[in-house]
Structure 1
Amino acid sequence: MLRFLIIAIGAPLFLMAMPAHGFARLTIDADSQYRYAQSRLDSGAVDEAVAEFNRFIHFFPADPRVPQARFQTGVAHFRAGRYQAAAAIFNQQTVGFAGSPLDNQAFFMLSRSHARQGMIEQAIVDLHNLEALSSSTDVIDQVRYELGWLHVDQGRWNAADQAFNRISPDNRDRFQVANLKQSLALSGAIPFKHPTTAGFLSIVPGGGQLYTSRYQDAATAFLINAGLIWAAWESFDNEQYALGSMISFVGFGFYAGNIYGAVSSAHKYNRDQINAYRERLNQHRQISLSLAPSPKGAALCLTISF
């Protein structure tokens, strides 16, 4: 009976004491949470970074680093290839533009996010909006530099030259404007093949391919078409009209394909020449460095465009 009484009284007291002595209360502070979120982003764990920065925003909504944390979630989405999600975040941060480094970077990242989605014209509009809002010469020159490269990516050589040429004298050396303009001046020397000419020359099978420097294709087209024409001729000459008609039908398909292939070869040749020229221009493309604010100073942001 006594043992039962001791158990009956002691058990509740033991259970009441367990929360205080059996479990340690977990607490987080703003600095630790932000550092951990940033460490996940720096290590490439972008999904974890998004979750941790969002946790920071949720638990510390009054912290001055909330805008920077939200920006970093956009960066994480961008690195993960989720450009639409990144653009939504950066677009939100461009509202109420005040000219801070973070505001500027939000505009640049918004433009890059749109460009990665193939929305080049919208990316250009984003940069023009920043150019109109900003009063900083350095920011405006960075805008013009990135505008130039958007035009380069689209093969708009004259528009690119005009954008680079608008960079202020103080920053022309920094952005290597002289080298860029010298390289863009060579755009007129890009060799091109005219698709219409290639198709016309293909009246003689293989002539169009020969024009576009596809010598093996030219020989193949000539031999196949010549062989089919000869076979059809021999069939008709031997009064094998059904066989001759069938070979002629097949031969017409090969002949039409020879013309179509020559026109396509001209387009491919031109595309390859433009890509090769663009690659030479890309050798002048610089790593973009910029500053974004943080409560204890500034964070260095590095962007490599390609």
Structure 2
Amino acid sequence: MKHRLLLAALLLGLCLPIPASVLHAAERIIDSRQQLAFAEHLFNQGQYRRAAEEYIRYTFFFPGDPDLDRVRLKAAEAHLLAGDGGSALQVLRPLTEREPLDAAAVDAYLLTAECHLQRNDPNQAVLQLNNLILLTDDPSVKDRAHLRIGWIHIEQLDWQGGRRALARITEPGRQRHQVDRIVSALDTADHLPGKNPSLAGALSILPGAGQLYVGRYQDALSAFLVNGGLFWAAYESFDNDLNVLGGLLTVVGIGFYTGNIYSAISSAHKYNRAVEEGFVDHLKHQVIWGSGLDDAHRRHTAGNGLRVRWQIPF
């Protein structure tokens, strides 16, 4: 009986008409514009990892599309903004190996440099930009590469390296990228207010004085109290014939005293580096970058690598 009911239900299902919506869904074809619009939507929403996946999906389904190079660049950019410079490099590699060099390859080289910067490898970033300079005959492209190399040196607090790279930019490029303004600001970098590490160490002969010199007031007070307390306790121990305890306290005190001197020297170096990094940040915000980057890069700066947004039109 059960088998007959099951057979009857199956026959009835086969006789019923299939809804048009189901047929329409089954016949739906992936549209390149819709696929790209979805990827762009995810990118604009800040869902960079998902956007990268959709851009890559686009390159698989539409390998002959004329916008394919732009889509690959957007996929690499999305990977970069998601913090995955390694995946971005894999996407960019076929573009950088292309001969002869075209506009997409140029952008790929520039993005490749940003990937290496994100991976804390500025030397490799500079190498890629120098390769681009050798491969291109376009003065404007050379200028963009020299400009980015200059900024990389500046970000590494290498003022002379930055000046040398900027000096290679052509006169039209100097005007376009405000190079003279950058160089003028770099002239002040050698005169930034700083602290002398040697003086900080010498002052630390009196515990806490070196930290006080570099403006670390709480550390200065702690160094003075700890070192003073240890040496006073050691003196009292020896005075009361507690020689073993006095010896132990003396050894510990010498360690803290040496640490107090090292801390003061280190604090002076950190102070100077903070001043120099603040100078670079101020310079970035004062100068409009002309190396293919837009103002949105400031919203994506994080850590040591520079995360950027590129304007890749469709």
The answer to whether TM tops 0.5 is yes
- Greater strand content: 1
Mapping of residues 7-46 of structure 1, within 5 Å: 11=11, 14=14, 18=18, 23-24=23-24, 25-46=27-48
- Cα deviations by residue, 1:80-125 (Å, 9 ceiling, x for unpaired): 1111101121122111143332221111111111111101011001
- Unaligned residue ranges in structure 1 (runs of 5+): 291-299
Q: How far apart, in 1, do the equivalents of 2:57 and 2:98 lie?
A: 24
Q: 1:262 offset after TM fit, Å? A: 1.7
Asked if 2 retains the 8 angstrom alpha-carbon contact of 1:288 and 1:304, the reply is no
Which is bigger in relative contact order (C-alpha 8 A, separation at least 6)? 2
Q: 1:11 offset after TM fit, Å? A: 4.3
Query: Which residue matches 1:151?
Result: 153
Is it true that 1:127 corresponds to 2:120 in the alignment? no
Alignment CA distance shift 1:247-1:101 (3 Å): same
Asked if 1 retains the 8 angstrom alpha-carbon contact of 2:197 and 2:268, the reply is yes
Mapping of residues 210-221 of structure 1, within 5 Å: 210-221=212-223
Mapping of residues 127-276 of structure 1, within 5 Å: 127-276=129-278
Q: How far apart, in 2, do the equivalents of 1:50 and 1:238 lie?
A: 74
Q: 1:164 offset after TM fit, Å? A: 1.5
Matched residue type, 1:286: I
Query: Which residue matches 2:105?
Result: 103
Query: Which residue matches 2:55?
Result: 53
TM-score (norm 2): 0.80
- Cα deviations by residue, 1:277-296 (Å, 9 ceiling, x for unpaired): 22232233425575xxxxxx
Alignment CA distance shift 1:31-1:220 (3 Å): closer
Asked if 1 retains the 8 angstrom alpha-carbon contact of 2:288 and 2:295, the reply is no
Q: 1:212 offset after TM fit, Å? A: 2.9
Q: How far apart, in 2, do the equivalents of 1:163 and 1:75 lie?
A: 25
Alignment CA distance shift 1:222-1:57 (3 Å): closer
Q: 2:297 aligned to 295, 300, 304, which one?
A: 304
- Cα deviations by residue, 1:52-87 (Å, 9 ceiling, x for unpaired): 323322222222222222222112111211111011
Q: How far apart, in 1, do the equivalents of 2:21 and 2:281 lie?
A: 66
Is it true that 1:279 corresponds to 2:285 in the alignment? no
Q: How far apart, in 2, do the equivalents of 1:247 and 1:128 lie?
A: 58
Alignment CA distance shift 1:21-1:237 (3 Å): closer
How many residues matched? Answer: 291
Identity %: 35
Q: How far apart, in 1, do the equivalents of 2:258 and 2:123 lie?
A: 38
Alignment CA distance shift 1:39-1:245 (3 Å): closer
Answer with 233-242 or 100-109: which moved more: 233-242
Q: How far apart, in 2, do the equivalents of 1:97 and 1:130 lie?
A: 12
Query: Which residue matches 2:308?
Result: none
Answer with 45-54 or 184-193: which moved more: 45-54
Alignment CA distance shift 1:215-1:40 (3 Å): closer
Aligned partner of residue 259 in structure 1, secondary structure: helix
Q: 1:219 offset after TM fit, Å? A: 4.1
- Cα deviations by residue, 1:225-266 (Å, 9 ceiling, x for unpaired): 234333322332333334433432332232222222222222
Matched residue type, 1:145: L
Q: How far apart, in 2, do the equivalents of 1:110 and 1:226 lie?
A: 55
Alignment CA distance shift 1:288-1:19 (3 Å): farther
Asked if 1 retains the 8 angstrom alpha-carbon contact of 2:42 and 2:50, the reply is yes
Aligned partner of residue 173 in structure 1, secondary structure: helix
Matched residue type, 2:61: F
Alignment CA distance shift 1:246-1:59 (3 Å): closer
Alignment CA distance shift 1:22-1:250 (3 Å): closer
